Amino acid sequence: MHILENEALRLEIADKGAELSRVWDKEESCERLWSADPAVWNRHAPILFPFVGKVVDGKYRLNGRVYEMNTQHGFARDRDFVCLEAGPRSLSQLLCATEGTKLVYPFDFRLLVRHRLDETNPRLLHVEWEVRNAGKETMYYAIGGHPGLLPPPGVKKEDCFLGFPGREQLRYISADPAGFALPDKLCELSLRDGLAPYGESLPETWIFEDRQVSAVQLVRPDGRPWVSLRCEAFPILAVWAKAAGPFVCLEPWFGRCDDAGFTGELPDKVCEERLAPGEMKRIAYTIEFHR
């Protein structure tokens, strides 16, 4: 476990999954990240790679061949990363393809993950990824964030708002009970001053596609933001929570779960990313923990 720290926050980041595992707010004297209680949800803020969500029947197809991918969200979250650089306010960790990963995902990838506390705003965390194709064929992948964020102490998530600054209306799709997207069931979300009451009768998962959302907030009952996540580069933003847990997950995605009944090949998946041999892409989002 590695520690990043400044005058406002103390972060713990594991080598397993390069997962942000704790955010202690020194000034508010409270935890800002879900504890990963296995009775509810056993993750804190996993990195989703090289898949986001599930594939139908635990299988996907590429160039006429069928591959097994029985785990949701790929495998990076369960792999040990190598620490490349560790400082008081920045950490870099690397995951590379192995013969084992190539059995289920046949690409020679390198995934570099960097967590960095901002130099001027002590409450701002940068999450940065570099995905590289080290192989000789076009590489297809999806990647996403999944931080489980806690509301203020003593406040239920159902009493909070979701904030979408500058927006008056959004469209979203949800997922079926098996975790597959329902793109034909498009819903409208009307906002008031950019806010949607979280506690209304809404699905467990909201999926906002088409680059509708560049920033999302968890907002206190009095209208003040508690957490802000900025994700301008991402085509998809998802919101997910479990009824039994106190947290809300704000999830920036490239790619997503299969549509219910999907039978296409890997390149046909929604917002699937691709890299030419030797190509690299940098992706980043930020989380600000307000007082």
pLDDT tens for each residue of 97-122:
999 999 999 999 999 999 999 999 99
Mean predicted lDDT score pLDDT of the chain: 95
Least confident of 13-22, 131-140, 194-203, 208-217: 194-203
Give the mean model confidence (pLDDT) for residues 255-271: 95
Determine the pLDDT at residue 205.
87
Determine the pLDDT at residue 2.
97
Cα–Cα distance for residue pair 200/198, rounded to 1 Å: 6
pLDDT band at residue 243 under the 50/70/90 scheme: confident
Helix H or strand E segment including 104: helix 99-104
Cα–Cα distance for residue pair 168/146, rounded to 1 Å: 25
Cα–Cα distance for residue pair 162/72, rounded to 1 Å: 26
Give the mean model confidence (pLDDT) for residues 83-106: 96
Nearest to 252 by CA among 124, 145, 164, 130: 145
Determine the pLDDT at residue 244.
86
Q: Is the pLDDT of residue 245 over 60?
A: yes
Q: Is the pLDDT of residue 203 over 80?
A: no
pLDDT band at residue 284 under the 50/70/90 scheme: very high
Which residues on neighbouring strands pair with residue 198, listed in sequence order?
none
Give the mean model confidence (pLDDT) for residues 153-164: 94
First to last CA, the chain: 26
Question: Which of 99-106's residues contact partners 24+ apart within 8 Å by CB, and which partners?
Answer: 101/75, 104/67, 104/68, 104/69, 104/75, 105/50, 105/67, 105/69, 105/74, 105/75, 106/62, 106/67
Determine the pLDDT at residue 168.
92
Q: Is the pLDDT of residue 202 over 90?
A: no
For domain 2-289, give the fold. Beta-galactosidase; Chain A, domain 5 (2.70.98)
pLDDT band at residue 15 under the 50/70/90 scheme: very high
pLDDT band at residue 286 under the 50/70/90 scheme: very high
Distances, alpha carbon 25 to alpha carbons 11, 20, 246, 285, in Å? 9, 14, 17, 20
Tracing tokens 């591959």 back to the chain, one arrives at 67
Q: Is the pLDDT of residue 85 over 80?
A: yes
Kindly report, residue by residue over 159-200, the tens digit of the pLDDT. 999 999 999 999 999 988 888 999 999 999 989 999 998 775
